[in-house]
Amino acid sequence: MAKVVVFGAGDIARLAHFYFTKDSPHEVVAFTVDREYRRDETFQGRPVVDFEDVAARYPPDGHSMFVALSYAKMNKVRAEKYEQAKARGYTLVSYVSSRCTYLSETPPGDNCFILEDNTVQPFVTIGNDVTLWSGNHIGHDSVVQDHAFISSHVVVSGHVTVGPYCFLGVNATLRNGITLAAETLVGAGAVIMKNTTPRGVYLAARAERFQKTSDEIDL
Ligand SMILES: CC(C)(COP(=O)(O)OP(=O)(O)OC[C@H]1O[C@@H](n2cnc3c(N)ncnc32)[C@H](O)[C@@H]1OP(=O)(O)O)[C@@H](O)C(=O)NCCC(=O)NCCS
């Protein structure tokens, strides 16, 4: 069990507090944000301290950290804080939901956030600072590299490599055996059948409004 300081005071931090409190051995003892972003003294009933002062208030020899940030700037904001937390001497904890089916014998790296209803098949490797939001399928022998963010109901088939800093939107599908290059952005619902190029953006066709309105259709 660790005493954890959560970096952040937004939605993801609120959810991290919820998940760590309800479904982990760890205790969230405080939140921290950069001084210029700190608005309140407390959040979720815990103190909020300036990141500049956190090591003095909650020293890394007795506390761990979890960086609870989203995919802003293709995950670069979270990665930067992850590196800063490590440089200050903190061990970064990961959360894996008790409702995740985690069958790989390789545990995920640090600062991972792996929510309910993910299926992580055997022989999968998950790097550091990876988010798997709820309900994804990560197929056997796949690798999800550092700082990637996989939103919800994504299918990563077997033997896929998801490169560092990739963002995969909801309901995306990746064919088996392909590699997503670093910083690939896959839009919601896109089906990726080939390797991608670095920083490539891949979009699915959007639904179009039909000519009739719903009251004109006899369901
Ligand atoms: C790819 C994506 C990031 C683009 O987002 P964006 O830059 O904000 O783009 P917008 O949705 O504002 O669209 C801008 C323009 O790009 C084009 N465009 C965007 N997505 C498109 C798509 N899927 N198909 C065709 N054209 C598209 C359109 O021309 C659109 O203009 P219009 O709709 O005003 O005519 C977004 O479509 C997406 O898929 N986001 C992921 C959502 C998601 O999974 N969220 C879960 C988070 S946990």
Tens-digit pLDDT profile for residues 1-24: 899 999 999 999 999 999 999 999
203 ligand 1 Cβ < 6 A: yes
22 ligand 1 Cβ < 6 A: no
Of all protein residues, the one whose alpha carbon is nearest to atom 30 of ligand 1 is: 206
* 95-99 CB contacts, 8 Å cutoff, 24+ apart: 95/16, 95/19, 95/20, 95/23, 95/24, 95/26, 95/66, 97/19, 97/23, 98/23, 99/23
114: phi then psi, degrees, rounded to nearest 5: -120, 105
For residue 151, give the ligand 1 atom closest to its CA. 48
189 ligand 1 Cβ < 6 A: no
pLDDT at 1: 85
35: phi then psi, degrees, rounded to nearest 5: -50, -40
- Which amino acid appears at position 10 of this protein? G
Compute the distance from residue 9 Cα to the ligand 1 centre, in Å.
27
CA–CA gap between residue 174 and residue 25 (Å, rounded): 34
pLDDT at 153: 98
For residue 168, give the ligand 1 atom closest to its CA. 44
169 ligand 1 Cβ < 6 A: yes
CA–CA gap between residue 155 and residue 153 (Å, rounded): 6
131 ligand 1 Cβ < 6 A: no
206 ligand 1 Cβ < 6 A: yes
Compute the distance from residue 52 Cα to the ligand 1 centre, in Å.
37
CA–CA gap between residue 5 and residue 63 (Å, rounded): 7
For residue 152, give the ligand 1 atom closest to its CA. 48
**Low-confidence spans in the chain with pLDDT less than 70:** none
CA–CA gap between residue 154 and residue 23 (Å, rounded): 23
For residue 149, give the ligand 1 atom closest to its CA. 48
Which one of 206, 208, 209 would you pick to mutate in the ligand 1 pocket, going by the greatest count of ligand atoms within 8 A of its CB?
Answer: 206
For residue 170, give the ligand 1 atom closest to its CA. 44
Which 3 state secondary structure label does DSSP give 50?
strand
Give tens-digit pLDDT for 30-55.
999 999 999 999 999 999 999 999 99
Q: Tokens 């894996």 appear where?
A: 96
Which 3 state secondary structure label does DSSP give 216?
helix
